[in-house]
């Protein structure tokens, strides 16, 4: 029961987005659960943000009332604060026993599932096969006039932004991959936006798509497992709602259909957690892991064609992402210049140089693709050290909540 002594804790993975009620001309905030415990979004007046910031477990309802009074000279009735806490509790936005029980149930259900079901189907892209084909065909174009011939490709970087905003750049990547003879297996590396403790978060489950399932390469999974010092599927629940690989799965199935090769879906956690002032290669356990995986893929590639795909976006800038700045053409130009400086390291397969360039200013533009790009560069270099990567496309897309995201298409 929530009373004046209750100490509410807003869930850590609650995303608070700015919004506007155009009819009432009123500023709003929208609460969204990145974890997926609830699919319900809550909209409320922006003035409540100050109160939500105090929902950290250290303040009781009574203390929050007192703190608000001290800061604003407004005495909010206890009943209003209790009602707000109850609304958040009912919508599963508070961290408590009820939310924990739902989380355990969802994790257990996912572990028992034989496949990873699409999470963004019918939202980010059509769930009907014919409609999906028409939708993607409308984005599709054939890339020509790059010096890398398709059958020499060993890898690619593709966006993981939604298809409507990133379609042109997705198409730049996958129209080139479409010209490939079918690889024997694909290693797909995607951003784990929710984090995770394991460097690589893996699953044996096949990914479902409207075009059918992509079969996971169980043999390759086992080879990775033999290298890693932890259970690679211990945190596989992070795959459940993650879009960075789901969106690659759609394009992979679109271009290869019934001839789709097996793949190994790998989510990468935030390497910045353990490598802030140094590169991951300076951390013994991480470097040992990469060296072993590099030897593995190098050996396999002698007899089989391995394709490396990174689902990775670049910069995230603006109010939507916490920046108190106005979005101007000059700002976008400045960010593009910074992005292209970092891309130069990618084009040289300089994974440590890329990582250092991003972390030089503590990743101030929030390049969420840092870990999958770093990892993909290492694997591509192990398979094809002579590769000369090429930038096919670069774009920026506005965010509806204020700001923009950048992304690129690069082939190796």
pLDDT of residue 342: 98
**Which residue is associated with the tokens 């509806």?**
400
With contact defined as beta carbons under 8 Å apart, do 4 and 78 qualify? Answer: yes
Whole-angstrom distance, CA of residue 159 vs CA of residue 315: 11
Domains in the chain with CATH codes: 14-105 (1.10.10), 116-411 (3.40.830.10)
Give long-range contacts, CB 8 A cutoff, 24+ apart: 76-84.
76/51, 78/4, 81/51, 82/2, 82/3, 82/4, 82/6, 84/48, 84/51
195 or 60, which is more confident: 60
pLDDT of residue 21: 76
Angle of helix 243-256 relative to helix 163-178, nearest 10 degrees, comes to 40
pLDDT of residue 36: 86
Contacts for 116 with CB less than 8 Å, ≥ 6 apart: 203, 205, 206, 207, 208, 239, 240, 265
- How far from the centroid of its chain's Cα atoms is residue 33's Cα? 14
- How far from the centroid of its chain's Cα atoms is residue 6's Cα? 34
Whole-angstrom distance, CA of residue 403 vs CA of residue 397: 9
Question: pTM score, two decimals?
Answer: 0.90
Strand partners of residue 268: 191, 200
Pick from 349, 341, 393, 401: nearest CA to 367: 341
Q: pLDDT class for 302, splitting at 50, 70, 90?
A: very high
Kindly state the average pLDDT of the residues 141-153.
62
pLDDT of residue 264: 99
Strand partners of residue 43: 30
Please state whether beta strands 306-311 and 262-268 pair in parallel, antiparallel, or not at all (unpaired).
Answer: unpaired
pLDDT of residue 212: 96
Pick from 225, 298, 216: nearest CA to 262: 216
Pick from 322, 317, 355, 352: nearest CA to 337: 317
pLDDT in tens, 358-397: 999 999 999 999 999 999 999 999 999 999 999 999 999 9
Q: pLDDT class for 150, splitting at 50, 70, 90?
A: low
Kindly state the average pLDDT of the residues 242-254.
97
Average pLDDT, the chain: 93
pLDDT in tens, 89-115: 999 999 999 999 999 999 999 999 999
With contact defined as beta carbons under 8 Å apart, do 376 and 267 qualify? Answer: no
177 or 24, which is more confident: 177
Contacts for 171 with CB less than 8 Å, ≥ 6 apart: 139, 140, 141, 143
Does residue 46 register a pLDDT over 80?
yes
With contact defined as beta carbons under 8 Å apart, do 176 and 297 qualify? Answer: no
pLDDT of residue 143: 55
């Amino acid at each position: 029961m929530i009373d004046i002594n209750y100490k509410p804790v807003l869930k850590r993975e609650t995303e608070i987005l700015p919004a506007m009620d155009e009819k009432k001309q009123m500023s709003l905030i929208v609460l969204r659960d990145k974890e997926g415990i609830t699919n319900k979004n809550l909209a409320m007046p922006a003035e409540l943000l100050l109160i939500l910031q105090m929902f950290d477990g250290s303040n009781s309802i009574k203390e929050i009332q007192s703190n608000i009074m001290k800061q604003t000279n407004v005495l909010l009735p206890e009943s209003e604060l209790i009602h707000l806490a109850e609304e958040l509790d009912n919508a599963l936005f508070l961290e408590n026993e009820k939310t924990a029980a739902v989380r355990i149930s969802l994790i257990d259900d996912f572990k028992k599932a034989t496949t990873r079901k699409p999470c963004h189907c019918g939202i980010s892209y059509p769930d009907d096969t014919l409609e999906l084909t028409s939708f993607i065909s409308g984005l599709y174009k054939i890339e020509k006039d790059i010096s890398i011939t398709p059958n020499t490709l060993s890898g690619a970087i593709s966006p993981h932004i939604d298809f409507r905003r990133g379609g042109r750049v997705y198409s730049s990547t996958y129209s080139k991959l479409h010209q490939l003879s079918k690889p024997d297996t694909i290693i797909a590396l995607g951003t784990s936006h929710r984090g995770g403790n394991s460097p690589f978060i893996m699953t044996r489950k096949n990914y479902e798509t409207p075009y059918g399932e992509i079969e996971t390469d169980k043999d390759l999974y086992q080879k990775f497992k033999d290298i890693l010092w932890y259970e690679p599927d211990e945190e596989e629940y992070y795959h459940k709602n993650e879009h960075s690989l789901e969106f690659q799965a759609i394009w992979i199935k679109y271009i290869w259909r019934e001839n789709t090769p097996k793949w190994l879906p790998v989510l990468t956690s935030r390497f910045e957690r353990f490598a802030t002032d140094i590169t991951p290669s300076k951390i013994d356990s991480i470097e040992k892991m990469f060296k072993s995986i590099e030897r593995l893929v190098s050996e396999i590639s002698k007899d089989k064609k391995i394709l490396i795909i990174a689902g990775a976006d670049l910069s995230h800038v603006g109010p939507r992402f916490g920046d108190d700045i106005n979005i101007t053409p000059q700002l976008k130009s400045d960010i593009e210049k910074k992005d292209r400086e970092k891309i130069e390291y990618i084009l040289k397969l300089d994974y440590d140089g890329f990582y250092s360039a991003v972390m030089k200013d503590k990743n101030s533009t929030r390049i969420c693709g840092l870990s999958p790009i770093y990892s993909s560069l290492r694997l591509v270099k192990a398979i094809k050290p002579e590769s000369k990567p090429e930038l096919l496309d670069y774009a920026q897309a506005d965010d509806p909540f204020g700001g923009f995201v950048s992304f690129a298409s690069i082939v190796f």
